[in-house]
């Protein structure tokens, strides 16, 4: 009887990830409700605490209360811890502790790591985790020190040090939480090249995916890059350049964003908004004051998001590239999708289509629901907020703090689905695949 009960409690890797993230969120929400977490000594109301914990763990950055002025040091540390665990994945953190106490990593734990890091196989998975931990520590330390030095010109050294590392960790994990107060994010540093370039670099390094970073480091030895790495780097570069150029053009004469800035400030502001739209969430321009054309462009960039196996969300750069490649192949009358003289397998194209359509369906459904529950809100603001939640970006037009309780719950669910992944949730809830013993005859339909 005991063995049967234990067997019923067995969770496969996708279900374990879903349950694990949910438990971390609930623990974080409980800690944020404690009086010691808030400046007023009352703690956050449960729904706001759940929203904040979900946003931090899912490295989104959407907030219903201002982080810098609402939370005590304890509350901010809780949020920062949730960001780090959520960004790297709780299995990566668990592996760190296992390595510290010299515990052997079991096969089940390796399978969980494979699912968490979106890897094809478990071969070399522990070595990859070690690389991730070292790379993260070095990157966050370097970014933290550079930002600390810059902030030390504007505030006491102790606070500058804390602010520097908080924002380094937050942006490397593509979370976007900030301590600047009054929901201002990094708008005071829009023309500052140090803050802009350091934070943009942190966002990109956290968003290209750890497998790409590992592949680039191995290049000196192997003298070759995998197809995945080539597609990620090429697509990322194209999206950053195109996004920067279009925002620069669209916002150039906007008196509330780029117009008052110097030529260098215009370029830095455009670059930052293009990079941060790829699931980071901090901003140097006032998002709510941007033109509708720019906001729609940011919605597209947010939906695409970062790359697989990274701290970011969205449908991912490789998914977007695969779909564009499939469209181009169909237009040219070719059967295969070719990238860098290599052919993609059909199942990759089908999976890309499934991820994109699943994400689009979730965004559309949640936008329709919020259009009902938040009747007085502008439609573009609702679509922007939902896409930001799904892609775990965290950019906001200012709607989030005024959401109704139902609206907050819908955004919480969207953030959770966006971080864990629509496919992971679907696989976690679905039954095991059954073998097909027969196939139906072919049929034809007209397309287009």
How would you write the pLDDT of the chain (448 residues) with one tens digit per residue? Answer: 434 443 444 556 667 777 878 899 999 999 999 999 999 999 999 999 999 999 999 888 889 999 988 999 999 999 999 998 888 775 666 666 666 666 676 666 666 666 666 666 666 677 777 888 888 899 999 999 999 999 999 999 999 999 999 999 999 998 889 998 888 889 999 999 999 999 999 999 988 888 888 888 888 888 889 899 999 999 999 999 999 999 999 999 999 999 999 999 999 999 999 999 988 888 999 998 999 999 999 999 999 998 887 878 889 999 999 999 999 999 988 888 889 889 988 888 988 898 899 999 999 999 999 999 988 889 999 999 999 999 988 899 989 888 999 999 999 999 998 888 765 665 555 545 556 667 778 777 766 6
The single-letter DSSP state of residue 422 is: H
Distance between CA atoms of residues 445 and 402, nearest Å:
47
Q: Calculate the CA dihedral of residues 110, 115, 116, 118 and round it to 10 degrees.
A: 120
**Angle subtended at Cα 249 by Cα 184 and Cα 284, rounded to the nearest 5 degrees:** 15
Classify residue 31: in a domain, yes or no. yes
The single-letter DSSP state of residue 284 is: S
Classify residue 91: in a domain, yes or no. yes
Classify residue 198: in a domain, yes or no. yes
Helices (H), 152-209: 157-172, 193-207
Note down the domain range covering 15: 10-428
Binning the chain into helix, strand and coil, the percentages to the nearest 5 are: 65, 0, 35
Classify residue 202: in a domain, yes or no. yes
Classify residue 3: in a domain, yes or no. no
* Number of structural domains found in the chain: 1
Q: Which residues pair with 178 in a beta bridge?
A: none
Classify residue 1: in a domain, yes or no. no
Distance between CA atoms of residues 91 and 16, nearest Å:
10
Q: How far is CA 319 from CA 16, 60, 197, 324, 349, in A?
A: 25, 20, 27, 9, 8
SS3 445: coil
Classify residue 433: in a domain, yes or no. no
Rg of the chain taking only CA atoms, in angstroms = 22
Residue with tokens 């803050």: 195
Q: Which residues pair with 339 in a beta bridge?
A: 342
Characterise 377 by phi-psi region: left (phi > 0), alpha (psi -120 to 50), beta (else): beta
Tell me which residue of 62, 54, 6 sits closest to 28, measured CA to CA.
54
């Amino acid at each position: 009887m005991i063995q049967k009960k234990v067997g019923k409690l067995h969770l496969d890797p996708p279900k374990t990830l879903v349950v694990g993230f949910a438990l971390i969120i609930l623990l974080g929400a409980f800690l944020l409700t404690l009086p010691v977490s808030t400046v007023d000594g009352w703690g956050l109301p449960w729904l706001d605490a759940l929203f904040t914990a979900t946003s931090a763990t899912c490295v989104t950055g959407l907030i219903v209360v201002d982080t810098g002025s609402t939370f005590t040091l304890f509350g901010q540390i809780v949020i920062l811890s949730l960001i780090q665990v959520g960004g790297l994945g709780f299995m990566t953190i668990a592996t760190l502790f296992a390595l510290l106490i010299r515990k052997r990593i079991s096969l089940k734990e390796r399978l969980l790591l494979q699912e968490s890091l979106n890897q094809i196989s478990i071969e070399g998975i522990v070595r990859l985790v070690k690389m991730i931990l070292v790379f993260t520590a070095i990157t966050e330390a370097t970014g933290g020190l550079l930002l600390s030095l810059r902030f030390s010109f504007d505030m006491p050294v102790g606070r500058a040090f804390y602010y520097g590392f908080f924002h380094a960790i937050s942006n490397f994990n593509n979370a976007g939480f900030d301590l600047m107060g009054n929901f201002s994010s990094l708008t005071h540093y829009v023309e500052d090249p140090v803050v802009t370039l350091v934070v943009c670099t942190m966002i990109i390094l956290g968003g290209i995916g750890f497998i790409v970073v590992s592949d680039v480091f191995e290049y000196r030895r192997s003298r070759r890059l995998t197809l995945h790495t080539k597609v990620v780097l090429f697509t990322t570069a194209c999206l950053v350049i195109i996004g920067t150029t279009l925002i620069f053009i669209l916002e150039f004469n906007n008196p509330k964003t780029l117009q008052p800035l110097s030529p260098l400030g215009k370029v830095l502001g455009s670059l930052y908004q293009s990079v941060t739209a790829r699931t980071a969430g901090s901003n140097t321009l006032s998002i709510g004051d941007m033109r509708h054309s720019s906001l729609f462009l940011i919605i597209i960039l947010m939906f695409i998001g970062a790359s697989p196996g990274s701290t970011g969300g969205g449908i991912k750069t490789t998914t977007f590239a695969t779909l564009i490649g499939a469209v181009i192949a169909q237009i040219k009358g070719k059967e295969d999708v070719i990238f860098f003289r290599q052919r993609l397998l059909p199942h990759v194209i089908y999976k890309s289509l499934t991820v994109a359509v699943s994400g689009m369906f979730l965004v559309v459904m949640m936008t329709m629901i919020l259009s009902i529950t938040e009747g007085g809100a502008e439609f573009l603001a609702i679509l922007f907020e939902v896409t930001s939640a799904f892609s775990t970006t965290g950019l906001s037009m200012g709607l989030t703090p005024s959401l109704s309780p139902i609206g907050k719950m819908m955004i919480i669910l969207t953030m959770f689905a966006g971080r864990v992944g629509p496919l992971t949730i679907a696989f976690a809830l679905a039954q095991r695949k059954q073998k097909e013993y027969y196939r139906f005859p072919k049929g034809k339909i007209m397309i287009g």
